[in-house]
Every structure is written in structure tokens, then in C-alpha cells.
Structure 1
Amino acid sequence: MSELSNAIFDLIVAGTFRPGEKLNEIELAERFGVSRTPVREALKTLASSGVITIERNKGARVVDHSPDSVEAMYAARSVMEPYAAKLASETMSDEDIAELRRLAEDMYAKVSDDPNLAEIAALNNAFHSAIVSKCPNTRVAEMTMSMLKPLVASRTFRVYTEAQLMRSALHHLEIVDAMAHRDPEWVEAIMRAHIRSGYHSAIAGPS
């Protein structure tokens, strides 16, 4: 996605715009100091990735997925992302793993102190995106990201309990440990457990 698309996506992840909320082109243009044309293009990009919808004469809105849709996406993600993580772990450098550990430790620190859900959501997105971006199979990476972005955007940590937030943060640390041990099977197993745990947290209440 473009830099502007990513910036708008970050606002959605942080909860600035909630599921079902309208995205005003003029307000976004003023926020980022650009004209409406690049905003319009950025919104089209987000629509193509399933994060928002654009309807004629109604404008753009953040997608508000039904429970059945969320379940279907998590089912698909449970298959694809663990595989993508397994492949990524086989090619990651020590520097890549060190960066993942920094993201995981930063998220753990945020959860342990005074949780800022916007910051936690941003770190979570950065962590998962960093792993998928290192998957050497570009088709698998693209398919995984196409499922990851709508879920990250529509189901943030607002519905998580403190225990669920901590479990998610600990999963991230374990995923990094598995990668540091160069154990792709462990990476795949903990990533699948992490996603299934996330699914049950996401459906516990309204986002």
C-alpha cells in the first residue's frame, strides 16, 4: 500500500475510526495536508484490500464484518499465516529476529504497564506484518496479508480483557523464541495457537 494508505490504515487500527464509521475525504486531506485526490486513491487501495467499502453516493466506510464473516476469515487465516510464518522463519536473518523481539518486548511492556490500546494495536500489526513480509513465497504472503489487514482493522484490542492482552503479548514473545531457535515447526504451532486464541477474544464482544 502507499504511504498515505498505510497512514489511514494505522488510524483504523488505532481505533480512531471504528467499524462502520464513515471516512470523510476532506477531513482526511486536512489531517494529512494533502489534496483530496491522493486521499481518494488511498481509499481505493484500502477498499481493494477489504479494509473499507466505497459505495456510490455514500462514500467510504470502515468495514464492519458480521460474526460469520469474521469466523470465516479467522478459519482461513489459521491455515495461511502459520504457514507463512513457518516459511519466513526459515529465511529470517538474526537482525530480522532482533527487530521482531523488539516489537514483541515493546508490546509486552505496554500491556504490563498502563495499556494504551492504540499503541498495542499498532505494535501488533507491525509484528505480524513484519513476519509476513519475510515470507519467501510471495503468493502466500499476499494471500495472508489480504486476510490479515481486514481482521486487524475491524477487530482491535478494545474487546480484550487484561488476561487476553497478556496472553497475546506472551504469544508474540514465544513466536520470537521459536524463530531464534530456528524451529519452523514450533513457529507454525504457536502462530496457529495465537490466531485461534485471538479469534475467541475477538468474538467475546462488540469491537
Structure 2
Amino acid sequence: MAKLPEIGYKISLTERAYEIIKDAIMTNVFKPGELLIEEKLAEQLAISRTPLRAALRRLAYEHLIEINSSRNATVVNISQKDVEEITIVREVLEPLAVKQLENNIKSNELKKLKNIFEIQKKAIAENNYTELIKKEYEFHVSISKFTHNKWLYEMVKDTNTIIQRYLILSGSLNKYKEVAIREHENIIHGIEEKNYSSAESSMKLHISNVSRRMLK
């Protein structure tokens, strides 16, 4: 099992443990099927088992790990069927999120969305795949956040967490980054021009294309 940094005491131990372990899973430091032993995690993070267990329960809720009867956790694998099923959900939720931006998104929020896009372009130019993956997730989640619908936002976050992992495992975003960024540009253009039907269609096409590219 990979070595984790100690947490310290400046922030919530549960929150920090959650962030560190999740990051290790999302970046494939902890690989699919790997056993995470509670005792070793607590020792490496220099925290007691109480906040650690709370963090692990949160990760299990997000379908990133499974916890067995011995309270040890296993990193969940992602199958082709998982991606196909999540894509069906995303093709409904995320075009809906775009539609909900109409008469709802604020000018500073549109500016933030465009800034994410610009950082993505810079990441591509600098071949910074880690930043590109991070901003791919942020782009999709931000659109749902700007709807100010907390239920839609939470569901989009959950599905994109799983997809982000698969993007890392498959390497497809790096291979098709130029195509993906053009698809993001089409979505932003539709929103900026207040052509929400076009932006909605562009989002649905993008999600469908992402799934197809991942499963090639």
C-alpha cells in the first residue's frame, strides 16, 4: 500500500483523511482492487480510527471503496458496464443542467466557466495531464453548481467522480484532448450566446463522445 502524508491538527481530521485517500484513489496511487487496511491507514495518516472510519464511510457512499466486515476497504473497480450505465444518467442530467442555466447563470459564473476552459487549453499546451483531468471534472460540476439546484449538483458530482477515475485509468482524455476541448468550447459558446438549446445538444453529444472514446 502506498505511503500517505500525515494529516496534523489544523483542519477536520475526517475531512482531510477523506481528501487524501480520495486523491490517492482518483490518481491511481491506490489501484482498483487494492486492499486498504484501516490500521495501516490510521498509522500513516497519524490519526485515530474514529475520523478515519467516518472518511471511509463517505468514500464508500461515493462508490469509491467497499468496506468489508473487518472494516478494511477495497478500492472499487470500474467496469465497462458501469461507464455505460453512468453515461445514460449523465446524458439526462447534464444537458438538463445546461438548460437550467437559462435566466439563471450569473455573469461572474460564466466568467468562471470560461476561466476553467482557458486553464484547460493551457494544460493541453503544457502537456499537463493532471491539471487537464482536474479541470475536466470542474467544468462539468461547475455547470451543475451554477444551476443553484443542490440535488442536481450532488448527482452530477457523484457521476463525474466515477467518470474522472475511468478517464485516468483509460488515458482517453489525454489521447483525445484536442477533440474534447473543442466540445467544451461549443458548450460555452452556446451558453454565452444564450442559445441554450444548442448548448444542451452540445453537452449531450460531448458526454456520448466521452463514453465512446473511453470504451474504445
TM-score (norm 2): 0.79
Q: In the aligned structure 2, how far is the partner of 1:20 from the partner of 1:5?
A: 18
Q: Spell out the pairing of 1:138-177 with structure 2 (5 A cutoff).
A: 138-156=150-168, 158-160=170-172, 162-177=174-189
Structure 1 residues 88, 16: closer, same or farther in 2, change over 3 A? Answer: farther
Query: Is residue 43 from structure 1 mapped to residue 56 from structure 2 by the alignment?
Result: yes
Task: Determine if contact 1:51/1:153 at 8 Å carries over to the other structure.
Answer: no
Opposite residue 22 of structure 2, the aligned amino acid is F
Q: In the aligned structure 2, how far is the partner of 1:27 from the partner of 1:172?
A: 41
Opposite residue 71 of structure 1, the aligned amino acid is E
Partner residue of 1:54? Answer: 67
Q: In the aligned structure 1, how far is the partner of 2:197 from the partner of 2:110?
A: 16
Q: Which structure has the higher relative contact order (CA within 8 Å, separation 6+)? A: 1
CA drift at 1:64: 0.9
What count of residue pairs does the alignment treat as equivalent? Answer: 203
CA drift at 1:113: 2.6
Task: Determine if contact 1:82/1:191 at 8 Å carries over to the other structure.
Answer: yes
Q: In the aligned structure 1, how far is the partner of 2:189 from the partner of 2:23?
A: 27
5+ residue gaps, structure 1: none
Q: In the aligned structure 2, how far is the partner of 1:108 from the partner of 1:136?
A: 27
Partner residue of 2:7? Answer: none
Partner residue of 1:123? Answer: 135
Alpha-carbon displacement from aligned partner over 1:56-84 (angstroms, at most 9, x marks no partner): 22622222122122211111211111112
Partner residue of 1:104? Answer: 117
Opposite residue 125 of structure 2, the aligned amino acid is S
What's the RMSD between the two structures over aligned residues? 2.6
Task: Determine if contact 1:105/1:173 at 8 Å carries over to the other structure.
Answer: no
1:182 to 174, 181, 194: 194
Alpha-carbon displacement from aligned partner over 1:61-119 (angstroms, at most 9, x marks no partner): 222122122211111211111112221354111111111111111112112232x3222
Q: Percent identity?
A: 25
Query: Is residue 76 from structure 1 mapped to residue 89 from structure 2 by the alignment?
Result: yes
Q: In the aligned structure 1, how far is the partner of 2:190 from the partner of 2:20?
A: 31
Q: Secondary structure at the match of 1:136?
A: coil
Q: In the aligned structure 2, how far is the partner of 1:157 from the partner of 1:104?
A: 23
5+ residue gaps, structure 2: 1-13
TM-score (norm 1): 0.82
Structure 1 residues 118, 190: closer, same or farther in 2, change over 3 A? Answer: same
